[in-house]
Amino acid sequence: MASGGGGGMVRAGVVPGRRVAGYAVVGLVLVGVVCVGTVGAFGVNRIFTGLFFGAAVAVGALIVLFGRDGVELTEDAIVRRTPWGASTVAWERVVAGRFTLGEKGRWTLALDLNGGDEPHRELVLLSIPPVVRPISNAYDMRKREQVNEIRTILRHKRIPVTVLPEIAEALRYHWKIAPPTR
């Protein structure tokens, strides 16, 4: 975790919808394969047992897939991970950050990158529902911690961050944190 000195590692990242759909298909296929295998080995009376064990295997696989998918902000670089690989982005490629309105009314904290294989790229670190009340559950608490951790490391790296005024005000008023700016 990032500390006041900016050291450590911060986990962030948003799994794109296409990969979520792919992971869901993997889960459904695992349920089907385990169920068919159980029924084939023990008879049709074990269909619910097959579904149960298939669901357990699918949940385990989804935990592994989602746990491996994300972005890690370290002192040395930004590491983008997927279940099948990882790539590194140097901090020098980060032009700026922005906390703006994203898809479906969610707030998106993203980094703008230059250079590399693509001429210009966006790296989404966080996508949260708009903050409209004080912290009321574990999800809100974790997202507040992530905003603070990302803000700390971006300040340490001297990355300028633009924040929409309504987002900055809501973060300050409801979550009692300063927006992730320099």
Distance CA 83, CA 75 (A): 23
Q: What pLDDT score was predicted for residue 4?
A: 43
Q: Is 78 left (phi over 0), alpha (psi -120 to 50) or beta?
A: beta
Give the Cα-Cα-Cα angle 144, 148, 152 (nearest 5 degrees).
Answer: 170
Cα R_g (the chain), whole angstroms: 20
pLDDT surpasses 80 at 111? yes
Report the amino acid identity of residue 133: R
Of 1-10, 43-52, 70-79, least confident by mean pLDDT is: 1-10
pLDDT tens-digit readout, 28-38: 999 999 999 99
pLDDT surpasses 60 at 2? no
pLDDT tens-digit readout, 119-157: 558 888 999 999 999 999 999 999 999 999 998 999 999
Average pLDDT, the chain: 88
pLDDT surpasses 80 at 5? no
pLDDT surpasses 60 at 3? no
Instruction: Name the residue with higher pLDDT: 13 or 28.
Output: 28
Q: Which of 90, 64, 76, 99 is nearest to 10 (CA)?
A: 76
Distance CA 163, CA 109 (A): 9
